[in-house]
Chains A and B, each alone.
Chain A
Amino acid sequence: MHAFIGIDLGSTTTKAVVLDENMDVLGRGITNSRANYDTACKVAKYEALLSARFMLLQRGLASVAAAEVRLEDFLGSLERSFRLGQFVEQIEDLEATCLEKAKGRRFEGREEAIAEAIREIFVALRADAPALFARDARRKSDFFRDLAGSRFMAVGQKIAKAANISYDLLLNVYDKAIIEVENRPPSGDVTEKLRRAFERLIEISPELADLVGQVSAPVAAALAAEIEEVSVVGTGYGRVTLPFPKENIRSEILCHGLGAHMMYPGTRTVLDIGGQDTKAIQVDDQGIVENFQMNDRCAAGCGRYLGYIADEMNMGVHELGPLAMQATRSVRINSTCTVFAGAELRDRLALGEKREDIISGLHRAIILRAMSIISRSGGVRDEFTFTGGVAKNEAAVKELRQLITENYGDVVININPDSIYTGALGAAAFARRAISQ
């Protein structure tokens, strides 16, 4: 099977999309961008190809005569089993790397005690792992750095105290090790790992016994199918570092325009709020960019704004939207400057305003800023498509809907649950079309 891959190297996350020859999406992958775009690119691509493999599995299972819900459950279990296997593999790598980092003059005399503590921490981390990937488990993040880091810190503090060694020292070892591990792209054969995950799943899931006979052959076939990378196109801020020729690099403006057009062919105006920029793009009926505007002298009103606010509030960025949705009123935030908005936030808190009402006001501020960029690009035309990480934030979406209706009347507003992949989708489409020429 031929695969066409688009990679969008964002400031916060790196996304990849795999298309088949018919321009259907086979798979999507996402990872944190780290400070290393090369690795981020590899990991995102790996994840997208993995998800493509699951798509093939799903297609293969279509012929199996079993309740759809059971098959979905089987695939979900298989993915969790695979993720767990991968997580454990990385945990082992992290442990080995930590042990390596805990050597040298700084550790003289305490080497054994520290190594012992590290080993103890990792025993706990490994024991915790299955629960992280259990059915219905809630994870704050899917990125290894976040998952391993939060557990390491929680466990490490206790163990350090008990062993009477410096927690800071352990943390220092961890910090050095995680950068290395995180920047080692996943190795080994995906299909082989999937096979092992399948075997592990059968072993531990007696309830699947009756299904095994039916699914074994399609699973084997789907895992044996070859996915051939025909062409890769990159976009995003890190695009110049991509290891392929200039013809295979497109600006994210073009990719977002085309990606939005592919998701919703009626799209005429696209708003993308990413980590460090906000783009308003006007496209024609073919997805060709007619005009665009971006913030450029100042980053106020971008995704990072919410990240900063989340830090100020000591919350996760994904918790902001739900909190804002609980607001009964919206506190007016005047500042468009991210840092000043932080000051305003503390000021309002001190005045006794409710957290949710303030956060709701901050969402409104970011959207007001986006509205100004949209109007500079030529306003909102029907249909309107909202993309980027911020499109996942329900409070931001609510404000946007309201402001668009107020200013432009009745307009179709499209928000795709996979909107974060819009740029990568456009890039993949460029990859597909470049070959067909």
Chain B
Amino acid sequence: MTNIPAAQTIKDSSMLKQKEMITGNYSKLETAAADGRKVVATFVPGNLNELIMCFDMLNNLPEINAIQNGMRKKTGGYIMEAEKRGHSEDVCTYVKADLGMIAKGNIGPDGQKLPDPDLLLLSYTGCFTFMKWFELLREQYKCETAMLHVPYQGDGQVTQNMVSYVVKQIREEVIPKLERVSGVKFDIDRLRENLARSARAEEDLVWVLESAKAKPSPIDAYFGGVYYIGPIFTAFRGTEDAVEYYRLLRAEIGERLARGQGPVTPAGDMPSERYRLVVEGPPNWTSFRDFWKMFYEEGAVVVASTYSKVGGLYDLGFRHDPDRPLESLAEYCLGCYTNRNLPARIDLIEKYMDEYQADGLLINSIKSCNSFSAGQLLVLREIERRTGKPGAFIESDLVDPRYFSPANIKNRLESYFQMVDQRRAGGKSAARAA
């Protein structure tokens, strides 16, 4: 297989489409005040984008700004700024990157000024830090706040009571505040239309993610996956743009699959697939490219990842449902990956290991994210026990460049890949297997 130069791969229509969508949204945010548009700030897991759209409001996601800033290597300075203002070194670095950015003039990742939010919509509470984050933002902006309390799946399931509880809050707390702030009356038929579009895009996304079951996998479900989930996890779910993006993406991946091609990487097509991995935990964003390179250079493909499920576990069958609009929003919030208890997460990873024929599980443990990190070693051991496949554990951070030690991480990954080789050759003596 020949390597396609990176420049050529960038021309994929889906990538161009996504870029256009993101830039478009930042431009709309910049001119929101002039255009008379109201702005909601909200989080990725459990975001109610379809509902927000019903009120002609724009959606600004602080987590996404932190990620985008991380990839543009701007977060180091923002985090220092936040620490200077009294935020501890151990606080979630998304929070500090956001607060630092605000303190330095609130210029968004692509250089455009971000608007003050008119409403802080805390739509998911499985991450306790979110609540504290919005407390700080409320202090900053003195704006209206809506809090949707989403019960944790402590017993590993969503009950009817839990759904009713969330629906009641959407109806009695969230919608009235959205109406009040936006001045637009809620129209459930509009919501149904948005949800129908979401479901169409979700269908195509799941097809793309599941294409990784093929050998070789035509996608990388972690490093590539974070791009694929972009539109559906953020301000675009429920839009025609998202439907179009996923239609294009599915067609492109379909072609790669038909041609037996591996994933696209920043260095072009991956020539050969040597290791198939499942990855748990978010990626490091400040050294994203370097981190990815450590994988594709060794022929390691991530065939399934849990991070690509933080904004919805569509591959388990969930779809937004126009016939049960508020209930399906509630179920969506309740079903996010980080809202699942440890046994459910372990079951999910085991299923991925099996269905995607993975060689092993790799955990990237994030220093400042307890939502993800708590219990990860238990997950690792249990998966090793159940599948007999080797696991590995590396440590880094989300957007704090100080917590990514490339030499050590590369060393661990190389050791891990060689360990996979050794174990594959199993039965023989260790040295002979080399």
8 A-B pairs with least C-beta separation: A433-B431, A251-B415, A253-B415, A287-B430, A296-B408, A288-B430, A289-B419, A429-B431
The residue from A253, A261, A297, A433 contacting B434, defined by CB atoms under 8 A apart: A433
Known contacts A251-B411, A297-B395: does B434 contact A290 (CB below 8 Å)?
A: no
B394 near A250 (CB under 8 angstroms)? no
Residue-wise interface mask of A (417-437) relative to B, using a CB-CB cutoff of 8 A (1 in contact, 0 not) = 000000000000110111011
Residues in A whose Cβ lies below 8 Å from that of B394 = 296
Q: Tell me the minimal C-beta distance from A241 to chain B in angstroms.
A: 12
> Can you give 20 contacting A-B residue pairs, CB < 8 Å?
A250-B418, A251-B411, A251-B418, A251-B419, A252-B411, A253-B418, A254-B415, A257-B430, A289-B430, A290-B423, A292-B415, A293-B393, A296-B395, A376-B393, A378-B381, A429-B431, A433-B429, A434-B431, A436-B432, A437-B432
- A7 within 8 A of partner (CB): no
Q: Kindly identify which residue among A286, A294, A434 contacts B412, using a CB–CB cutoff of 8 Å.
A: A294
Give the chain A neighbours of B422 by CB distance below 8 A: 254, 288-289
CA distance A437 to B422 in the complex (A): 15
> Known contacts A251-B415, A292-B415, A297-B405: does B395 contact A287 (CB below 8 Å)?
no
Q: What is A's interface to B at a CB cutoff of 8 Å?
A: 237, 250-254, 257-258, 261, 277, 283, 286-294, 296-297, 376, 378, 429-430, 432-434, 436-437
Q: Does B314 contact A (CB under 8 A)?
A: no
- Taking CB as reference atom, which chain A residue is nearest B410? A240
**Interface set of B (CB-CB < 8 Å, partner A):** 367, 377, 381, 384, 390-395, 403, 405, 407-409, 411-412, 414-415, 418-419, 422-423, 426, 428-434
CB within 8 Å for A254 and B419 given contacts A290-B390, A291-B384: yes
CB of A225 to closest CB in B, whole Å: 26
Q: What CA separation (Å) do A376 and B431 show in the bound complex?
A: 26
Closest-by-CB residue of B relative to A432 is B431
Whole-angstrom distance from the CB of A231 to the nearest CB of chain B? 11
**How many angstroms from the CA of A396 to the CA of B405 in the assembled complex?**
28
Are B414 and A430 neighbours in the complex by a CB distance under 8 Å? no
Chain B, residue nearest A294 (CB): B412
Nearest CB on B from A301, distance (A): 14
CA distance A289 to B433 in the complex (A): 12
CB contacts (< 8 Å) of A376 on chain B: these are 377, 393
Query: A281 vs B24: C-alpha distance in the bound complex, in angstroms?
Result: 51
Instruction: Give Cα A290 to B380, complex, Å.
Output: 12
Collect the chain A residues with CB atoms within 8 Å of residue B403's CB: 297
**Known: A254-B422, A291-B391, A376-B377. Contact between A237 and B434, CB under 8 A?**
no
* In contact, A430 and B434 (Cβ under 8 angstroms): yes
A430 neighbours in B (Cβ, 8 Å): 431, 434
Once the chains bind, are B408 and A294 in contact (CB under 8 Å)?
A: yes
B418 / chain A contacts, CB cutoff of 8 Å: 250-251, 253-254
Question: Are B391's CB and A296's CB within 8 A?
Answer: no
Distance of B271 from chain A, by nearest CB (Å): 15
Q: What distance in Å separates the Cβ of A429 from its nearest Cβ neighbour in chain B?
A: 5
Q: When the two chains form the complex, which single residue of A288, A297, A429 contacts B426, counting CB atoms closer than 8 Å?
A: A288
Q: Which residues of A contact B433 (CB under 8 A)?
A: 288
Question: When chains A and B are docked, how far (Å) is the Cα of A289 from the Cα of B422?
Answer: 8
Chain B residues whose CB sits within 8 angstroms of the CB of A296 once the complex forms: 394-395, 405, 408-409, 412
Question: Once the chains are docked, how many angstroms separate the CA of A432 from the CA of B431?
Answer: 8
Name the residue of chain A whose CB is nearest to the CB of B432: A433
Q: Complex: how many Å from CA A311 to CA B381?
A: 40
| Alpha-carbon distance between A236 and B394 when the two chains are bound, in angstroms | 18
What CA separation (Å) do A410 and B280 show in the bound complex? 36
Chain B residues whose CB sits within 8 angstroms of the CB of A432 once the complex forms: 431
Whole-angstrom CA separation of A429 from B403 in the bound complex: 36
Q: Which residue of A lies closest to B397 (CB)?
A: A297
Residues of A within 8 A of B367 (CB): 297
